[in-house]
Amino acid sequence: MSIELSPDATKQLRASIQRYFAEELDQDIGDLKADMVLDYCLREIGPSIYNQAIADAQAYFQARVTDLEAVCYQRELAYWPERRERPDHPQPRRVR
């Protein structure tokens, strides 16, 4: 699987890589070298980050699905209230 970035994201990441090299490594690099570093990161490191993000999302949604019944449960056949004695309509007595 290939990670595709928008042109705007690529441009911003290229500038960030160039700034990192300039400020942290005291080395100025051009667009070509910055694009090569970005391509390396996307191919070599990107899949690990992507897979972890997918695993995190699965765990998050699995926890929500597990709790779904408790959160969303509705009593069925709820029109008739539970049996209780009303003063104007006493419950019939059972004959044993």
* pLDDT for the residue 40: 97
pLDDT tens per residue across span 36-92: 999 999 999 999 999 999 999 999 999 888 888 777 888 888 888 776 656 666 666
Residue with tokens 């209230």: 81
* pLDDT for the residue 75: 82
Neighbouring CB atoms inside 10 A of 89's CB total 7
* pLDDT for the residue 84: 63
User: What's the pLDDT band for 33 if we cut at 50, 70, 90?
Assistant: very high
Neighbouring CB atoms inside 10 A of 26's CB total 7
Q: Which of 48, 17, 47, 50 is nearest to 31 (CA)?
A: 17
pLDDT over threshold 80, residue 96: no
Nearest 5°: the CA angle 15, 21, 26 is 135
* pLDDT for the residue 81: 78
